[in-house]
């Protein structure tokens, strides 16, 4: 029996979008707005990774952690909270899940507004370049396809030894109570955010890394400063030497060298693998297409047009792993949907200024070009420490170090990496300046109110200008 006759339904459409996450929904809407027939296929639950297990629940957990942290640090202001601070894990997780479900609800209601005939439930698999089999019940014959299947936590095989004590970010947001202890592997964005939040909520946390990385930072001075700052608060070893991992009873048992070189064995309720994410391409049947695949099995594509080779297949969002961030997924999805609709005419996506924020405390931010990508000798570094920065000190948030990079010949602002207070806000100012192609001089001609944390940025810009003039 042919695939077609074995399936109950066959559909013909212009654009088939695989995945109803942020990128997929944007792609579907763009294709429809361009006047095309389109369908959106979802194998998992509606609600998007961002709302369900990503950006939103992680920020909810962080908000609870910040409340606990602030309460513990009122003393230096002469404000004393008498009695013990009590963290009720069940209440913490109840609010995280309740608010999370509210955000998911908004997304789901949006999806439900999509005409029913355009929504297909089930996992899609390519039969060839533009024919998809969905959930064993539907055959979709499309003229173009957008892959927007997102990404999943990549868990290294040796961690499997922990069995059901091994968790990923998704599991944290399903907890009904806080555990006593968690070993976090991977001090990247997710590991840092969740590790610090859990620690502030009274969970015994150890964060282990490899090769010294801290968040997405590439500037060694900022990375070392950030590591030192976090280490004052919770155990963080970005270059950990773990010699043994095993499961004993209901616990994960880890043997490692502590920073003094002593061999330590500790037991944990859970091991959180925050060891990176991998594009969801397994099981997509890409081997049935004529698409060229890279060594991870991801179709080779043009990062500007999102087109896979010269085919009518496009790939957007975390699935292509260019910039696994929410606003990038939305932009890429829209561009992929538009290009799929107008194929074979395609247009490059006008990318916004690179912008990344880690919601740790102090926050970490990166704007524009990364330090690691700049050519040695072609730029100067303007620096500011937030330790003596006026407003930061007033608020007792005076931990931080910022580097701004400026092009030696043109004086243009190239990028910045830093950790410090209110970084999420300063990052936006800098991203806007970068996108406008401003020089350091032009940025310094902008207003700075007093007393604000942004005056710290002005100090770094002045330092850069002085170095440019020298």
Ligand X SMILES: Cc1cc2nc3c(=O)[nH]c(=O)nc-3n(C[C@H](O)[C@H](O)[C@H](O)COP(=O)(O)OP(=O)(O)OC[C@H]3O[C@@H](n4cnc5c(N)ncnc54)[C@H](O)[C@@H]3O)c2cc1C
**Site membership for ligand X, residue 58 (CB under 6 A):** yes
212 membership: H or E segment, kind and range: none
**Site membership for ligand X, residue 18 (CB under 6 A):** yes
Q: Is the backbone peptide bond immediately before 141 cis, with ω within 30 degrees of 0?
A: no
Taking CB under 6 A as the binding criterion, the range among 9-17, 231-239, 301-309, 316-324 that sits at the site for ligand X is 316-324
- Give start and end residues of each alpha helix (H) in 232-299: none
Closest approach of ligand X to the CB of residue 41, in Å: 5
CA distances to 248, 391, 420 from 459, rounded to whole Å, are 53, 13, 14
Closer by beta carbon to ligand X, 119 or else 397: 119
Closer by beta carbon to ligand X, 55 or else 308: 55
Are 170 and 151 in contact by the 8 Å Cβ rule? The answer is: no
**Site membership for ligand X, residue 301 (CB under 6 A):** no
Closer by beta carbon to ligand X, 19 or else 415: 19
Residues 6+ apart with CB under 8 A from 228: none
Residue nearest to ligand X (CB): 21
DSSP 118: G
**Site membership for ligand X, residue 190 (CB under 6 A):** yes
14 membership: H or E segment, kind and range: strand 9-18
DSSP output for 396-447: T----EEEEEEETTT-BEEEEEEEETTHHHHHHHHHHHHHTT-BHHHHHTS-
Taking CB under 6 A as the binding criterion, the range among 38-46, 198-206, 373-381, 400-408 that sits at the site for ligand X is 38-46
- Picking from 406, 353, 366, the residue whose alpha carbon sits closest to that of residue 226 is 366
**Site membership for ligand X, residue 368 (CB under 6 A):** no
Closer by beta carbon to ligand X, 340 or else 381: 340
**Site membership for ligand X, residue 325 (CB under 6 A):** yes
Closer by beta carbon to ligand X, 121 or else 408: 121
Are 431 and 367 in contact by the 8 Å Cβ rule? The answer is: yes
Question: How many C-beta atoms surround the C-beta of residue 73 within 10 A?
Answer: 12
Are 10 and 16 in contact by the 8 Å Cβ rule? The answer is: no
Chain residues 254-283 in contact with ligand X, contact rule CB under 6 A: 280
Out of 13, 129, 169, 389, which residue is the one contacting ligand X (CB under 6 A)? 169
Closer by beta carbon to ligand X, 380 or else 426: 426
Site string for ligand X, 89-128 (x = CB under 6 A): ----------------------------------xx----
Closest approach of ligand X to the CB of residue 318, in Å: 4
CA distance 379 to 373: 11
**Site membership for ligand X, residue 48 (CB under 6 A):** yes
Q: Which residues pair with 262 in a beta bridge?
A: none
**Site membership for ligand X, residue 195 (CB under 6 A):** no
Out of 23, 146, 271, 401, which residue is the one contacting ligand X (CB under 6 A)? 23
Closer by beta carbon to ligand X, 51 or else 226: 51
**Quick one: how far is CA 146 from the chain centroid?**
22
- Picking from 416, 427, 420, the residue whose alpha carbon sits closest to that of residue 379 is 416
Closest approach of ligand X to the CB of residue 45, in Å: 7
Residues found near ligand X in the complex (CB under 6 A): 18-24, 41-44, 48-50, 53-55, 58, 123-124, 148-150, 169, 190, 280, 284, 317-319, 324-327, 329
């Amino acid at each position: 029996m042919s695939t077609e006759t074995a399936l109950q339904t066959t559909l013909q459409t212009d654009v088939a979008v695989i995945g109803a996450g942020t990128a997929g929904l944007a792609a579907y809407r763009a294709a429809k707005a361009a006047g095309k027939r389109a369908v959106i296929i979802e194998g998992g639950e509606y609600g998007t990774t961002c709302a369900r297990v990503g950006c939103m629940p992680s920020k909810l957990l962080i908000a609870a952690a910040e409340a606990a942290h602030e309460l513990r640090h009122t003393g230096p202001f002469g404000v004393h909270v008498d009695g013990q601070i009590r963290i009720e894990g069940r209440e913490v997780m109840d609010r995280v899940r309740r608010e999370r479900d509210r955000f998911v609800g908004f997304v789901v209601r949006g999806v439900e507004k999509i005409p029913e005939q355009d929504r297909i439930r089930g996992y899609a698999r390519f039969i060839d370049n533009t024919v998809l089999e969905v959930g064993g019940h539907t055959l979709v014959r499309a003229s173009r396809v957008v892959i927007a299947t997102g990404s999943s936590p990549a868990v290294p095989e040796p961690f499997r030894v922990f069995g059901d004590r091994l968790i990923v970010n998704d599991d944290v947001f399903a907890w009904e109570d806080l555990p006593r202890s968690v070993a976090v592997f991977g001090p990247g964005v997710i590991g840092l955010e969740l590790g610090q939040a859990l620690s502030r909520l009274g969970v015994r946390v150890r964060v282990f890394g490899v090769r010294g990385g801290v968040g997405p930072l590439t500037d060694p001075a900022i990375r070392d400063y950030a590591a030192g700052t976090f280490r004052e608060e919770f155990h963080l070893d970005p270059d950990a030497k773990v010699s043994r991992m095993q499961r004993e009873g209901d616990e994960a048992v880890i043997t490692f060298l502590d920073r003094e070189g002593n061999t330590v064995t500790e037991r944990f309720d859970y091991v959180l693998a925050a060891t990176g994410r991998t594009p969801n391409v397994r099981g997509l049947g890409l081997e049935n297409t004529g698409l060229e695949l890279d060594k991870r099995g991801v179709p080779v594509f043009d990062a500007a047009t999102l087109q896979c080779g010269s085919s009518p297949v496009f790939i957007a969002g975390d699935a292509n792993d260019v910039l696994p961030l929410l606003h990038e997924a939305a932009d890429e999805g829209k561009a992929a949907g538009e290009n799929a609709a107008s194929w074979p005419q395609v247009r490059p996506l006008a990318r916004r200024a690179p912008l990344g924020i880690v919601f740790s405390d102090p926050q970490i931010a990166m704007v524009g070009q990364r330090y690691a990508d700049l050519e040695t000798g072609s730029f100067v570094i303007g620096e500011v420490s937030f330790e003596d920065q006026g407003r930061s000190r007033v608020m007792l948030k005076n931990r931080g170090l910022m580097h701004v990079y400026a092009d030696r010949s043109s004086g243009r602002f190239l990028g910045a990496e830093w950790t410090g207070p209110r970084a999420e806000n300063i990052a936006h100012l800098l991203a806007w300046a970068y996108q406008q192609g401003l020089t350091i001089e032009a940025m310094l001609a902008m207003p700075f109110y007093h007393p604000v944390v942004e005056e710290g940025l002005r100090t770094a810009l002045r330092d850069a200008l002085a170095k440019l003039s020298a």
